Amino acid sequence: MGTEIEEIKSRLNIIDVLGEYIRLEKAGINFKAVCPFHNEKTPSFMVSEERQMWHCFGCQKGGDVFSFVMEMEGVEFKEALRILAEKAGIEIKTYNYQKNKERNRTLEILEEATIFWEKRLWENTEGKIALNYLKNRGLRNETIKKFRLGYAPNGWKNILDFLIENGYKMKEIAQAGILVKKEKKENSKDDSGYYDRFRNRIIFPISDFSGKVVGFSARVTPGQDESQAKYVNTPETDFYHKSRILYGMDKAKNQIKKRGWVLLVEGNMDVIACHQAGIENTVAVSGTALTQEQVDLIKRYTNNLKMFFDMDKAGESATQKSSKLCFRREINVKIVTLPSGKDASDLARESPTKLKKAIAQSSEAVEYFFQKAFLKFDKNEVIGKKKIAQYFLEVVSYLENDVEKNHWLRKMSEALNISEMALTDMLKKVSLETEVGEKKNDIQNNKLDKIFSKQETLLNDLIGIMLIYPLAWKKGLEKAKQEDFSFLKMDSLFLVMAEKGESCGFSFDNFTKFLKEKREIKERAEKIFFQKKFQLDLNNNLIEIDNVDSLAELENILKELKKENLKHRLTQLTYDLKLAEKRGEEEVSLILRKESGKISGELAKIIG
């Protein structure tokens, strides 16, 4: 597998791979971007094309192209290997594990089902009703084929029988989410039967980032039994997580990066109609408010979003909730409105020009909610003023920029004839309520605030200077043997550096090649190297640190490390001594006092 990993790296440029996920900007000889893994205002995510490495100076994550795909896709190394192998056009012969086989089988089933339903739409007599409906909605043949729309015929076992005949097992098909397990009837021994989940419905395949079908949304065929649910979706599976997918993203991502903004709509038909109208940077949330995962997905490509939801009660609520989530991630939001109340697909069909004009004239989201507040309540009544302030300040509380907040407080103060101080106090209460509600999630989910002790920081500095400078590496190992640096042996990376340093010629590049089978240690080595080798200048450009007296710095770090280690031991001895004295253990106390005095003397010598 090691050979295949190196071959993948040789074929793929980290800039090209990361550029499919995030917007990279040239920064000297390197590249920078807004980090996709944490919320930040200015880019601290840097990529070195020369070393094929990335590092974020904000959240401290970093590594190679494999570690990036693992973070972005939320997958293990083996799955990242498969994804990158496909991009590189390399067959992973040694990767034949059972889980990978099952994954490939499920993807095959989803693809086969898509093809089956596509054919039924165009070739089946019943499918003509569904096809006519789509054409009556203004969709052209090429658009229907582009989005691979299909038709699931009436009947309980159409797709099931087709897939069984093609060699797939019942259990495999069920895992793809396209079957429903029969309920066991009383006194019946048959509890293993399944039937088709989608029957007499128009099929909308849902694809992941790379364009692979991972699930389906199915609309009841018009004129049929519409007493049942209008839309039925694939349930949560190993592949399909509704909260993490935006419909149409696989087709829209390049246009989003090119145009610099994304149009967010409610439903599948809205996306398809907008793409046909030439607005190919459109994606959908499938009828629900945005999720955190979806916002982060959008932020990979742009910080500018135009929201076009239905203006009914549910749509208004979704618009407000989604906007707040975007404000938290400092995404610039605009709201698209239509006087006629039509949805995106209707207007795209009737007048693409009007749709594009409405999008171009979209309102800044905060201004939109400001105007909305005064339409909802009467500002001439005391209770109305209170409700306007509550409604609008809840929106303002999600803004990250203080200048923006002050601007809107002043505008609200003038409009309501209320002092800014009163509104500021009210905003503090609203913000506190919001903060309390979110704090639990932040504590559970935020993995970016790991605080390293001084000793850990110094150890990383030591490893960094050794990895960068071969002579410092060699001298560092000699010093560790000569003096009492036994605590260094507890660090797995330092141990491997001590063991393999000489055979690797004390070369970082040779060392990382040796570590190709030790992923965790390799990633840590790359991360420490990047942090020590590069830094951000005042213009937020990545610069390489030169002209360092590596041996002098090595001596200084070792001195500080020894000092911190002695202080740590002294603290522990002091605790043990108090405990021994409390228990009346005089002999133990005497030994501890002698040891404590010895360490205090050593510490005094170092401090000077």
State mean pLDDT over 380-398: 89
Helix (H) or strand (E) holding 218: strand 213-220
- For 52-64, what is the mean pLDDT? 86
The answer to whether residue 488 scores a pLDDT higher than 80 is: no
Where is pLDDT greater, at 475 or 490? 475
Grade residue 283 by pLDDT with cuts at 50, 70 and 90: very high
149: three-class secondary structure by DSSP? coil
| pLDDT value at 185 more than 80 | no
Residue range 197-232, pLDDT digits in tens: 999 999 999 998 778 899 999 999 887 766 677 888
% residues pLDDT > 90 (the chain): 29
**pLDDT band at residue 95 using 50, 70 and 90 as cut-offs:** very low
In this predicted model, what pLDDT tens digit does every residue of 497-528 receive, in sequence order?
988 899 989 998 888 888 876 777 888 888 88
344: closest CA among 284, 434, 418, 391?
284
Query: What's the pLDDT score for residue 273?
Result: 94
pLDDT tens for 567-595 read: 877 887 887 788 778 878 888 788 888 88
- pLDDT of 187 reads 52
Mean pLDDT of the chain, nearest integer: 83
What's the pLDDT band for 60 if we cut at 50, 70, 90?
Answer: confident
- On the question of pLDDT at 146 being above 90, the answer is yes
Span 135-143, average pLDDT: 94
**Are the CB atoms for 265 and 248 separated by under 8 Å?**
no
Inter-residue contact 551 to 475 (CB < 8 Å) = yes
Output the CA angle 601-606-608, nearest 5 degrees: 90
pLDDT reported for residue 536: 66
Q: Is the pLDDT of residue 325 over 60?
A: yes
Which CATH architecture best describes the domain 99-238? Answer: Alpha-Beta Complex (3.90)
Evaluate whether 47 touches 30 at the Cβ level (below 8 Å).
yes
The CA–CA distances, whole Å, from 517 to 81, 192, 508 equal: 13, 43, 16
Tell me which residue of 249, 247, 301, 255 sits closest to 18, measured CA to CA. 301
- Burial (Cβ within 10 Å: 0-12, 13-18, ≥19) of residue 348: buried
Return the CATH fold of 2-88: DNA Primase; Chain A (3.90.580)
Provide the pLDDT confidence category of residue 261 given band limits of 50, 70 and 90.
very high
Highest mean pLDDT among 148-157, 307-316, 422-431: 148-157
pLDDT at residue 97, as a whole number: 47
- Predicted confidence band of residue 363 (pLDDT cuts 50, 70, 90): very high
Q: Which of 88-97, 109-118, 571-580 has the lowest mean pLDDT?
A: 88-97
The residue extents of the domains of the chain are 2-88, 99-238, 244-361, 370-445, 454-603
Kindly report the CATH number that applies to the domain delimited by 244-361.
3.40.1360.10
Side chain identity at residue 325, one-letter code: L
- List the single range of 197-201, 284-288, 447-451 with lowest mean pLDDT: 447-451
Q: What is the pLDDT of residue 418?
A: 87
